[in-house]
Structure 1
Amino acid sequence: MAVQDLWVLFLVLGLLMFRAQVLQSQNLTCSQNDLKALQDFVRGLKLPIEGWGDTNSSSHDCCNWLGITCNSSSSLGLVNDSVDSGRVTKLELPNRRLNGELLESIGSLDQLRTLNLSHNFLKNSLPFSLFHFPKLEFLDLNSNDFSGSIPPSINLPSIIFLDISSNYLNGSLPTHICQNSSRIQALGLAVNYFSGTLSPGLGSCTTLEHLCLGMNDLTGGISEDIFQLQKLKLLGLQDNKLSGNLSAGISKLRSLERLDISSNGFSGTIPDVFHSLSKFKFFLGHSNDFVGTIPHSLANSPSLNLLNLRNNSLGGIIDLNCSALTNLSSLDLASNNFSGPVPVNLPSCKNLKNINLARNKFTGQIPESFRDFQGLSFLSFSNCSISNLSSALQILQQCKNLTTLVLTLNFHGEALPDNPVLHFENLKVLVMANCKLTGSMPQWLAGSSKLQLVDLSWNRLTGPIPSWFGGFVNLFYLDLSNNSFTGEIPKSLTGLPSLINRSISIEDPFTGFPIFPVKESNDNILTGRIWPEFGNLKKLHVFELSYNRLSGPIPSELSGMTSLETLYLSHNNLSGTIPWSLVNLSFLSKFSVAYNQLHGKIPTGSQFMTFPNSSFEGNHLCGDHGAPPLPKIRSTFLLTLMIMIVLRANSRGEVDPEWVDAGADDKELEEFGSGLVVLLQNKECYKDLSLENLLKKLAIKRLSGDCGQMDREFHAEVEALSRAQHPNLMKKENRESEVFDPFIYDKQNDKELHRVFEIACLCLSEYPKLRPSTEQLVSWLDNIDTNTNT
């Protein structure tokens, strides 16, 4: 029989067996014990489960319910059962918007093999019985709202996979889990609030292959007994507070493939022990305090695929043995102290596609050998004092697969060459910001038809903005700000297809996070009018044309830019009135038309209530852009949330850590990440904002949720609120009675008040992944019982 025929036979047999199992499940009558346990499970939820029928009736067969799988008593070897009933072996309800808590009665499902309730809104503590299932093999509760600590007693003798990541669990890490759970292969405890030291105990998990403890509050060093895990393939300890030297015990993890210790406080040199790890592929050690050079065993590792040691204090000359690094694909050594010339031998690493060497101390120029870099896709030399731009472009155009080129803060004062033979046919991202380049926009750039992102800001370029930019069908980010361009804005820019009806994102090869469009153009000497056709750009997020010489009215058609978050038109010669249609821009959080020749009344309502007086000064405008008071608002909740947002913004004033854009002084875009920028404030600009107006702003906005946009609307609201400051807003201290004025604070709502504080803090977590979604936020707030009529 041919091999193909065998595959067909196996497929048919598999389908028949699956069908038989399904039919068996459907024909079984579930046991009364399991039926009662499932009915109790539903009673712990806020809403019934669709497809489970009337769970108060014992006549319904739970084996036919959605997400339930049953096996017969006989097939499970339960000889003591008098009736061959159906026993529940699987309860699988992920992504079902379940809201409520797990009750202890869940443990009555004593034949359960699989429990998957991930990506729901389940809350409160995990029941003791959950950790005492005798037959449970697969437990997935990740991405819920569970809180509290893990019970000190765990007995899951059959467990193989356990994931309770992305919750709000705290206390000490349950390193004792394998005392009675010796079969476990994957343990996920990441993105929680576990604290304390990484104490011994996990070394007894002899079958463990994946250990994920990242994004907690763990301190100290790595427990030495972890290095006894001979089958460990993945060790994730990123985003904790671990410190000390990295132990040489890593060499004992002979099966290790991925080590992520990034964003901790490890110091000293990296131990030279990786030669014994024949399967080692990924090392993420960025954002620590490592010193010294790259270990010889890493520089000669034939299995290594990704090496990320960005943001450390490594130095010396980069010495990689490319003849040995046959699988190296991504190299990120940015933000270190490497010196000397750019390594000439890098093109010998035949599989190397992504290189980030930004912010080091190289000298000279890009080597001629880079002409041979045929596989190179991503290259960043930002802020490395590289010289000779003309030579660099002639060399790099030979890299036919190059899609991303970042050369910010180099070539100081050189001319941007207009060499007609230059051609980058596959280039998608070009960033040469803050180089003080001279000259005009080169014609050769028009041939890069695949461009999606162009940043030439903070240079000294002159002449008109070419109309051929409008021919880039994929262009979604254009930043030409802070140059000396003249003439009209090309009308062709209003027809960019990717900003009208397409969403395009670019992924950073080192992190996998997408970047989004945030800017158009400003701060040149542009003249003429603002084209009404700009309203067609529905996907544009930021539109900046400040500090130019634009004239004419503000087109009402700009309200068609429905994704707009920032609209800056200040310091021009614009006339007429502010179109009331702009009130419909529900994502708009930053706005200024200051210092023009506008007149008439300032629009009121929606986001316009959040804009300070400084957004309108220098015109002939009138009116109050605040809103009338609303009756019966929840002042306690709203004011509390606002205070936490403001205080967090004051104390940190930060942007999303995954996004790098330091503005005029340090325009570095090589580390692409999330494009959302939140919590920026300017105290001077918002000094006229009253407490009364803050309450009005917080009360009037209702998120529409149209087309799945609630998250972005919420971020727009948070950003607007975060810029509000007032001397009467007190900082939260441990003495709870001093948080508010007496007219707000009272003993009747202590619990509700503290819950709101907790929610506000979670919204502002330093880790983006810990911040709740809008769905979760609405769910939590709906469950706060205030019993007040304020």
Structure 2
Amino acid sequence: MLLLLLLFLLSGPPLTVSLNQEGLYLQSLKNSLEDPDSALSAWNERDGAPCNWPGVTCDPISHSVHSLDLSNTNLAGPFPSLLCRLPNLAFISFSNNSINSTLPPDVSTCRSLQHLDLSQNLLTGELPHTLADLPSLRYLDLTGNNFSGDIPDTFGRFQELEVLSLVYNLLDGTIPAFLGNISTLKMLNLSYNPFVPGGIPPELGNLTNLEVMWLTDCNLVGEIPDSMGRLKKLTDLDLALNALHGPIPRSLTELSSVVQIELYNNSFSGGFPPGMSNLTALRLLDVSMNELTGTIPDELCRLPLKSLNLYENRLEGSLPESIANSTGLYELRLFRNGLTGELPKNLGRNSPLKWLDISSNQFSGELPAALCQKGALEELLMIYNQLSGPIPASLGECQSLTRVRLGFNRFSGEVPAGFWGLPRVSLLELVGNSFSGQIAKTIVGAANLSSLLLSTNKFSGPIPDEIGWLGNLVEFSGYNNSFSGSLPGSIVNLEQLGILDLHNNELSGELPSGVKSWKKLNELNLANNKFTGKIPEEIGRLSVLNYLDLSRNQFSGKIPLGLQNLKLNQLNLSYNRLSGELPPLFSKETYMNSFVGNPGLCGDLEGLCNGKEEAKSNGYVWLLRTIFVVAGLVFVVGVVWFYLKYRNFKMAKREIDKSKWTLMSFHKLGFSEYEILDCLDEDSVIGSGSSGKVYKVVLSSGEVVAVKKLWVGLRKECESVDVEKGHVRDNVFDAEVETLGKIRHKNIVKLWCCCTTRDCKLLVYEYMPNGSLGDLLHSSKGGLLDWPTRYRIALDAAEGLSYLHHDCVPPIVHRDVKSNNILLDGDFGARVADFGVAKVVDSAGKGPKSMSVIAGSCGYIAPEYAYTLRVNEKSDIYSFGVVVLELVTGKLPVDPEFGEKDLVKWVCTTLDQKGVDHVLDPKVDSCYKVDMCKVLNIGLLCTSPLPINRPSMRRVVKMLQEVCPENQSKMPKKDGKLSPYYYEDTSDHGSVA
């Protein structure tokens, strides 16, 4: 008896003793998965059945496991096939985890399974053909993985399947016709897969039970087959972002149950088919970004629509009056068409109109007074039309308005007092009209206003003191008006102000004191007014100011010396009454026209002073020149003598060591290791880092190479940050050679060879004349990088990383992707470099490998890597996303300006609070704003906090290719909705997000 008791105690906690067989299976599942958040920690109950465990649901009668829901628990590892041993398991969900490797064929042994959700994981390989053997399966969701290849032909044999969702994978076959055999199917979602170009199979018209068909961005071509008209139960049809053409078929008007039709961003032509009035259930119609012609039919406008998007087509004619009778319409976007005539008088009277965008058409007449009748109007966008008359007084009471763009029309009259003070408006644009009168004092109520754009109107009178109460104001542009009086003293309270442009007015008086509070001011243009007094010394403290134009005023006194501290792209103080000596840093030809028209101003620039001092100074010039010539000759002779001595010493030393070097080449070489060694001196150093120094070496053939010199032993510059088994390893050299020695890709830096000796190791690369992206982008030479160049760099780097992740076997994770590790050739082509901490991904299917120390650079490290040390491709994708944000914003990944935030958090916060204009790099021409916003969206996707939400690098390349500067395609939608950070250029048309 005592012996039995002892054995019982030694056996440890009696966990598995009291568990039934199903509990033992679930315990094995727990042990097979990585669980960093301890989501399964409660799976250790001593009950005989696991029915009380989190995520587990049992049948109330048999008490056997019926459902397993472990979604959003951050689990990692391969799919646990042992679940199929649970005989009554009908529901499995591992959605939004890191389930990896391939989906095993033996999943078909889960004979009772009805619901399988593995969406948003890291599964790869082909879709198992055995899935169709599950006799009771009704729901299959594999969205957001990396499945590739064809859809198996067995999928046409599903017996009970109602939902099939394969969105956001890498399926690259065709959309097969046999899917039309799944007669039970209610939802078919194949969106966002790189299928080969093909048409919509007519056989899909056999799915008479289908309610939802999403084939967005599936590389579809050709016309919509007439068989689609047989889908009488269809409620949602999304064929957007394809290359479909031809007319919209009349068969679509037979979809009597359809609620939502999205055909945007295709090449449909012609007009709307007759019979649109049959679609009595239609609430949303989006046929934007096509080539439709003709008029908007009256029968379309009589439908109970809530959202109508027809923008960017070639539609003509007027907007039917019947649109005003719609009682549910909240979104109407018609911008960039050729529509004419007046807007319906009752537009907005009967419907809760929320977003109205008719920009870039030829509408005329006055604004309907009833636009905000229901008090819901948020965006009123009407730029580039021929609208006229005053702003209706009723709009001055529209408290819901957030964005107003009435620019470039023919409006006139005074702006209603209430309109100035709308509390939620962030953008008020009245540019290019004939508005008159003054800015009302009621503007003090516009607490959310960030952009006040009043240029090129007939406004007059003083700028009210209340303007200084608008604490969120970032841009105040009022040039080409007749404003008079002095600038109100309160204007210096606008600490967020970035642009103040009031040139070509009648303003006078002195500039107010306290302008040093404009710490974010980037542009100050007060040219062609009547300002007097001195230029405030405080302007020299505005550290981010790069545009200063105070020309054609009556400023007097000296030019403040502090202006020399500014990094100005534009400086113009011409035609004032300035006097005294020109600050020495401005005595350059660059500023030749910046100071003309100031009779009392003296300096070395042509046209300043009258030359009184020239004769006196000529006597000293000859003497100074003689002294410098003699001193120069002595210096040159000394340098030559020292160089010859030093070279002889080095050559003698190297002759002793050359025999110790070993060369390993990876390409055919036109040089020897001795030629490299002869050129390694301090004069050739072009950079240094944690792993060693980099030299520029010009070979006798004229070819230029870069040489990285790493010291071995205990020197810190050669020690890798990777630690394994408690010992620091000098593995930078081995990692670079192992990785780059076998890689052949145009966007990966080429490793020519390596040279080794006992005390030193050399890596010889191709030379990149434009250095690193980080050094160039964040230096004074950043202006060399226009948007097309930045876009090309992003695409090149993405293709290089995609090669590492998807085309190398096994895949390679770089682990230190950053702008300083992206090098630029003479044409600004990008190469990914510095593989000193790169790692091969575990090829055994056991999930991300855990490292014992973080490798990477501050601001680029993915959040999950920082606290789990798990290495996979998603870590590189996050870092690449940060590089994309650098290219779009021009800002460093970590900057004191952000406070405790990094670049990712700063971008997200700024977008939410101030809008996209405050995120984009102001050094980039605004004509590229559309493409910059699209690439910004990709960067935000890559830096998603959850790894599973980040696209693969292969998908990143595809998305970048779709938004190239020559491609105006629209960004994809998630489940039929725009991505949260998608913006369109509102300077050229009326679309707004």
Same structural fold, with TM-score higher than 0.5 when normalized by the shorter chain: yes
Asked if the contact 2:424/2:447 (under 8 Å) is kept, the reply is yes
Report the Cα distance in structure 2 between the residues aligned to 1:407 and 1:331, rounded to whole angstroms. Answer: 16
Determine the structure 2 residue equivalent to 1:665: none
Instruction: Pick the aligned partner of 1:715 from 851, 868, 884.
Output: 884
Instruction: Tell me the secondary structure at the aligned position of residue 499 of structure 2.
Output: coil
Q: After superposition, give the CA deviation of every residue in 1:698-725 in whole Å (9 maximum; x if it has no partner).
A: 9996434699997973432343599999
Pairing 1:236-385 to 2, within 5 Å after superposition: 236-301=238-303, 303-322=304-323, 324-367=325-368, 376-385=377-386
Determine the structure 2 residue equivalent to 1:468: 466
Determine the structure 2 residue equivalent to 1:640: 747
Determine the structure 2 residue equivalent to 1:703: 859
Report the Cα distance in structure 2 between the residues aligned to 1:300 and 1:717, rounded to whole angstroms. Answer: 48
Instruction: Pick the aligned partner of 1:199 from 186, 198, 201.
Output: 201
Query: Structure 1: where are the runs of 5+ without partners?
Result: 1-25, 79-83, 497-518, 538-542, 559-566, 580-590, 601-613, 619-625, 657-685, 726-754, 772-790
Q: CA deviation at 1:212?
A: 1.0
Instruction: Pick the aligned partner of 1:29 from 17, 21, 27.
Output: 21
Determine the structure 1 residue equivalent to 2:101: 100
Amino acid paired to 1:640: N
Instruction: Pick the aligned partner of 1:219 from 196, 213, 221.
Output: 221
- Structure 1 residues 768, 358: closer, same or farther in 2, change over 3 A? closer
Report the Cα distance in structure 2 between the residues aligned to 1:770 and 1:283, rounded to whole angstroms. Answer: 15
- Structure 1 residues 691, 199: closer, same or farther in 2, change over 3 A? closer
Question: Would you say 1:228 and 2:226 are equivalent positions?
Answer: no
- Structure 1 residues 246, 404: closer, same or farther in 2, change over 3 A? same
Question: Would you say 1:405 and 2:404 are equivalent positions?
Answer: yes
Determine the structure 2 residue equivalent to 1:515: none
Q: CA deviation at 1:654?
A: 13
Instruction: Tell me the secondary structure at the aligned position of residue 172 of structure 1.
Output: coil
Pairing 1:433-448 to 2, within 5 Å after superposition: 434-435=431-432, 442-444=439-441, 446-448=443-445
Amino acid paired to 1:362: F
Amino acid paired to 2:124: K
Asked if the contact 1:640/1:757 (under 8 Å) is kept, the reply is no
Q: CA deviation at 1:309?
A: 1.1
Report the Cα distance in structure 2 between the residues aligned to 1:647 and 1:349, rounded to whole angstroms. Answer: 48
Q: CA deviation at 1:764?
A: 5.2
Asked if the contact 1:211/1:235 (under 8 Å) is kept, the reply is yes
Asked if the contact 1:34/1:109 (under 8 Å) is kept, the reply is no
Amino acid paired to 1:328: L
Report the Cα distance in structure 2 between the residues aligned to 1:695 and 1:129, rounded to whole angstroms. Answer: 43
Greater Cα offset, 446-455 or 142-151: 446-455
Amino acid paired to 1:29: Q
Instruction: Tell me the secondary structure at the aligned position of residue 297 of structure 1.
Output: helix
Report the Cα distance in structure 1 between the residues aligned to 2:423 and 2:791, rounded to whole angstroms. Answer: 40
Greater Cα offset, 523-532 or 99-108: 523-532
Asked if the contact 1:552/1:575 (under 8 Å) is kept, the reply is no
Report the Cα distance in structure 1 between the residues aligned to 2:959 and 2:86, rounded to whole angstroms. Answer: 46
Q: CA deviation at 1:522?
A: 4.8
Report the Cα distance in structure 1 between the residues aligned to 2:536 and 2:107, rounded to whole angstroms. Answer: 67
Determine the structure 1 residue equivalent to 2:546: 569
Q: CA deviation at 1:230?
A: 1.1
Amino acid paired to 2:443: A
Amino acid paired to 1:443: A
Pairing 1:596-611 to 2, within 5 Å after superposition: none
Report the Cα distance in structure 2 between the residues aligned to 1:595 and 1:283, rounded to whole angstroms. Answer: 48
Amino acid paired to 2:198: G
- Structure 1 residues 49, 705: closer, same or farther in 2, change over 3 A? closer
Q: CA deviation at 1:203?
A: 1.8
Pairing 1:492-641 to 2, within 5 Å after superposition: 492-494=493-495, 520-524=498-502, 544-545=522-523, 552=538, 569-571=546-548, 593-594=568-569, 628=688, 631=691, 640=747
Q: After superposition, give the CA deviation of every residue in 1:343-386 in whole Å (9 maximum; x if it has no partner).
A: 22324434444322211112233256668676544322211122
Q: CA deviation at 1:759?
A: 5.5
Report the Cα distance in structure 2 between the residues aligned to 1:53 and 1:398, rounded to whole angstroms. Answer: 57
- Structure 1 residues 477, 330: closer, same or farther in 2, change over 3 A? farther
Report the Cα distance in structure 1 between the residues aligned to 2:793 and 2:445, rounded to whole angstroms. Answer: 35
Report the Cα distance in structure 2 between the residues aligned to 1:702 and 1:191, rounded to whole angstroms. Answer: 33
Q: CA deviation at 1:241?
A: 0.8
Determine the structure 2 residue equivalent to 1:392: 391
Determine the structure 1 residue equivalent to 2:116: 115
Q: CA deviation at 1:113?
A: 2.1
Q: What's the RMSD between the two structures over aligned residues? A: 5.4
Report the Cα distance in structure 2 between the residues aligned to 1:102 and 1:113, rounded to whole angstroms. Answer: 17
Asked if the contact 1:568/1:593 (under 8 Å) is kept, the reply is yes
Amino acid paired to 2:231: L
Q: CA deviation at 1:262?
A: 1.0
Greater Cα offset, 101-110 or 260-269: 101-110
Instruction: Tell me the secondary structure at the aligned position of residue 747 of structure 2.
Output: helix
Report the Cα distance in structure 2 between the residues aligned to 1:599 and 1:147, rounded to whole angstroms. Answer: 65
Pairing 1:657-696 to 2, within 5 Å after superposition: none
Instruction: Tell me the secondary structure at the aligned position of residue 640 of structure 1.
Output: coil
> Normalized against structure 2, the TM-score is what?
0.51
Amino acid paired to 1:30: E
Q: After superposition, give the CA deviation of every residue in 1:293-315 in whole Å (9 maximum; x if it has no partner).
A: 122321222x2222111111111
Report the Cα distance in structure 2 between the residues aligned to 1:147 and 1:647, rounded to whole angstroms. Answer: 36
Report the Cα distance in structure 2 between the residues aligned to 1:236 and 1:441, rounded to whole angstroms. Answer: 49
Instruction: Tell me the secondary structure at the aligned position of residue 88 of structure 2.
Output: strand
Q: Percent identity?
A: 20
Q: CA deviation at 1:185?
A: 1.6
- Structure 1 residues 430, 175: closer, same or farther in 2, change over 3 A? same
Report the Cα distance in structure 2 between the residues aligned to 1:647 and 1:532, rounded to whole angstroms. Answer: 31
How many residues were matched structurally? Answer: 599
Q: CA deviation at 1:490?
A: 2.8
Report the Cα distance in structure 1 between the residues aligned to 2:882 and 2:462, rounded to whole angstroms. Answer: 36
- Structure 1 residues 478, 641: closer, same or farther in 2, change over 3 A? farther
Amino acid paired to 2:360: R
Pairing 1:474-489 to 2, within 5 Å after superposition: 475=472, 478=475, 480=477
Amino acid paired to 1:451: N
Pairing 1:50-65 to 2, within 5 Å after superposition: 51=39
Report the Cα distance in structure 2 between the residues aligned to 1:350 and 1:650, rounded to whole angstroms. Answer: 46
- Structure 1 residues 641, 373: closer, same or farther in 2, change over 3 A? farther
Q: After superposition, give the CA deviation of every residue in 1:322-363 in whole Å (9 maximum; x if it has no partner).
A: 575233332222221111223223244344443222111122
Q: CA deviation at 1:271?
A: 1.0
Determine the structure 1 residue equivalent to 2:143: 142
- Structure 1 residues 757, 104: closer, same or farther in 2, change over 3 A? closer
- Structure 1 residues 290, 373: closer, same or farther in 2, change over 3 A? same
Q: After superposition, give the CA deviation of every residue in 1:6-53 in whole Å (9 maximum; x if it has no partner).
A: xxxxxxxxxxxxxxxxxxxx98632999998x69xx97x898895568
Query: Structure 2: where are the runs of 5+ without partners?
Result: 1-17, 67-84, 504-509, 527-534, 550-558, 572-581, 595-685, 692-731, 750-767, 774-784, 796-823, 838-855, 865-877, 892-919, 925-951, 964-969, 975-993
Determine the structure 1 residue equivalent to 2:125: 124
Asked if the contact 2:352/2:374 (under 8 Å) is kept, the reply is no
Q: After superposition, give the CA deviation of every residue in 1:82-119 in whole Å (9 maximum; x if it has no partner).
A: xx965332222222234433222333322222222222
Q: CA deviation at 1:149?
A: 2.3
Q: CA deviation at 1:199?
A: 1.3
Q: CA deviation at 1:161?
A: 2.2
Determine the structure 2 residue equivalent to 1:161: 163
> Normalized against structure 1, the TM-score is what?
0.62
Q: CA deviation at 1:227?
A: 1.5
- Structure 1 residues 459, 52: closer, same or farther in 2, change over 3 A? same
Amino acid paired to 1:226: M
- Structure 1 residues 335, 204: closer, same or farther in 2, change over 3 A? same
